[in-house]
Structure 1
């Protein structure tokens, strides 16, 4: 029923929800009362009557209930944001600093302090942080262990355990996922209209999130999307991963300003391979690529046109990410909110 309220274009009444769900009005009324008491929805006064009959009060998600804490750690910055149940960003903090010399423990401790500031500010604003999700540029297991993040120099890092050392985060549910996956999910929620697309996150490293029919494709072990290590020039520059000619050695954030035409060419070669293999109709460029989109577009599209077998039949749509550089932390926060929406009963048990 919470999804019915969340996805409604207008504020539905209790009677409208009963009609839409097939539940009895008595059952809907009891559930609505529970959701209001749990701080998940609010009931608004009816609009002025324009016809016969008594106008009904409308239901909407509350902006003063549970919220998601989105965290991101990348090579050259730390970030935190708080998003309420309606999807509005209530807090946003970004600190730019090179994380490579710091090491995992120091970087996560600094991120913990940033997260604590965001959480305390959100609670002062009347919100209750339901959980946190961390976006990292690396391979992550289901339990939140960062197996390897080559551009950070991390290996087998228990990120939730490190964050729980921050007193303000102790006991808070914390999940971890690849930053491109979370960015793709964030883009899916705000952009709409594209149920299948490839999201490419341009940072110092390059990751991708693949959305298929509205769902994130993770691969068998959850490690899909490492497009930064697709070979574009087999005899090219050595990469941190040990191979040669990887995409991120030509189109990573640090290289964009030095040779934009080469970066666009390399991106086009890699993206054409993905399109030929998976037949994705839309490619979304995010992260550091979003502000460079207009300068990269022609070069990428030239390679797509030349290399994609079906380019003449169905050209690929290339666009910039709606959320820009905030996509990963926004997607992280949204994953927490989505969990509350998917299982409001679990939240009500916790809140009670």
Structure 2
């Protein structure tokens, strides 16, 4: 059988460099023998890979690990807090946000701002987003970080392997290619392709954040490899993860839960259908049902956090209309999710995005509907059905997932990110 280009010696070396870098990023600090054990290579095989990553500045060596039993003790390896950074951006219906994370997963800069994006043409929105990206980039540059990529979370359908938003009903966008408007943010121009740009559905990025970040807490491990992630801002989206991989669908549209009809003859929806889940469990629907005009409650609160906090506060105080609105929203969510659970048989359903802050009032009716409508019972006891959990990342999930996605080019191919002109400091402590 003829070897493919990826199976050449050069391709194998690149893959092994990526394995070392990803292992240290996920589990470091680690000694060289520990890295070798985790990725299944010999210590001799790992040594030149580590040295190359030290030379590029992607890894640093700090202190000394415990003696290994043969030869001198080795240094502990960790990813650098300088070098590449992932720039994540989020376009919401009424806010914009940008953050930067380093290879250790730490947020190094973040900005959020009110923005009336509903009904606005993409051009003005992207110009303002570009300005926020420039501010974040300036902040991290002062700390020795350089953008490795930009990923943008949007509340709509994004064509697979493209930067085109096919339809974002809550923004009023159709067939909008974001790449030209974001060229200044990526540094793209006549003489340079700039940094890589990724545009993705916000629920998909929230699910990726769950996979890569939510398991960092040993006491609250992340989701299992098969789960459905439900996310919400003004609209409701979902993502399906199978064996640790995002299920995108043939066109990239998998997970459009917000436009699953729960009451076929119900309220008209912006998508053109009737009775869609968003009309009963979306943020605006819940605010209306709870007697809170969405426009008034949005003032002074960048993003969904302020409005969700207000709903949670009123529900905690026992305000009857709010509690009833959240119970009805949970019922609608349970009806929509029952179909997904019966079809996909996931190990878990993760309530994320803005919905996570309302979980105490959504879950009882949601779990009740799942138990009634699925082939096996659902709930916390997991008596054969999916475990229903609440994301630790909450409304931050899509933005953090975007920043992590922007780093994947470096983690998948460390040689893709050029070393700085000066010699890196590879040993500290």
- Normalised-by-shorter TM-score class: over 0.9
Q: 1:168 to 1:340 in 2, by over 3 A?
A: closer
Residues 126-149 of structure 1, C-alpha deviations (whole Å, 9 max, x = no match):
111111001111111222111111
- Structure 1-normalised TM-score? 0.92
More displaced 10-residue stretch of structure 1: 94-103 or 117-126: 94-103
Question: Post-superposition shift, 1:75?
Answer: 0.7
> What residue is the counterpart of 1:123 in the other structure?
141
Task: Provide closer, same or farther for how the CA distance between residues 105 and 90 of structure 1 changes in structure 2, counting only shifts above 3 A.
Answer: same
Match of 1:159 in 2: 178
Closer, same or farther in 2 for the Cα pair 1:104/1:47, shift >3 Å? same
Q: List aligned pairs for 1:247-286, cutoff 5 A.
A: 247-257=277-287, 258=290, 259-286=325-352
Flag the 1:149–1:350 CA change in 2: closer, same or farther, 3 A. farther
Distance 1:235 1:18, change over 3 A: closer
Q: Deviations over 1:211-245 (max 9, x none)?
A: 11100000111111110010000110000111110
Does 40-49 or 217-226 show the bigger shift?
40-49
1:147–1:156 CA contact under 8 A, matched in 2: yes
Ranges in structure 2 where 5+ consecutive residues have no aligned partner: 1-19, 215-221, 291-324, 423-429
Q: Corresponding residue for 1:230?
A: 260
State yes or no: 1:196 paired with 2:215.
Answer: no
Highest RCO, 1 vs 2 (Cα 8 Å, sep ≥ 6): 2
1:61 to 64, 79, 83: 79
How many pairs are equivalent?
Answer: 350
Retained in 1: the 8 A contact 2:28–2:77? no
The partner residue of 2:58 within 23, 40, 50 is 40
Residue 392 (structure 2) aligned to one of 302, 322, 332: 322
> Could you tell which deviates more after superposition, 28-37 or 181-190?
28-37
Distance 1:7 1:126 in 2: 21
CA distance in 1, matches of 2:206, 2:96: 15
What does residue 181 of structure 1 align with? 204
Higher mean C-alpha deviation, range 157-166 or range 235-244: 157-166
The 1-side partners of 2:414 and 2:282 are apart by 41
Asked if 2 retains the 8 angstrom alpha-carbon contact of 1:190 and 1:322, the reply is no
Aligned-residue RMSD, C-alpha: 2.3
Q: Does 1:3 align with 2:33?
A: no
**Aligned residue number for residue 146 of structure 1:** 165
Partner of 2:125: 107
Distance, in Å, in 1 between the alignment partners of 2:331 and 2:55 is 56
Shift in CA distance, 103/145, structure 1 to aligned 2, threshold 3 Å: same
Aligned 8 A contact 2:61 2:78 in 1? yes
Check if 1:85 corresponds to 2:103: yes
Structure 1 alignment gaps of length 5 or more: none
Residue 240 (str. 1) matches residue 263 (str. 2)? no
Greater Cα offset, 60-69 or 257-266: 257-266
* Cα offset, 1:277, TM superposition: 1.2
Which residue is equivalent to 2:307? none
SS of equivalent to 1:164: helix
TM-score, reference length from structure 2: 0.77
**In 2: Cα distance, 1:50 partner to 1:93 partner:** 45
Bigger strand share: 1
Going from structure 1 to structure 2, the CA distance change for 1:167 and 1:129 (only over 3 Å counts) comes to: closer
Instruction: Report the equivalent of 1:311.
Output: 377
Which residue in the other structure is 1:133 paired with? 151
Tell me, in whole angstroms, the C-alpha distance in 2 between the residues paired with 1:205 and 1:193.
23
Distance 1:39 1:350, change over 3 A: closer
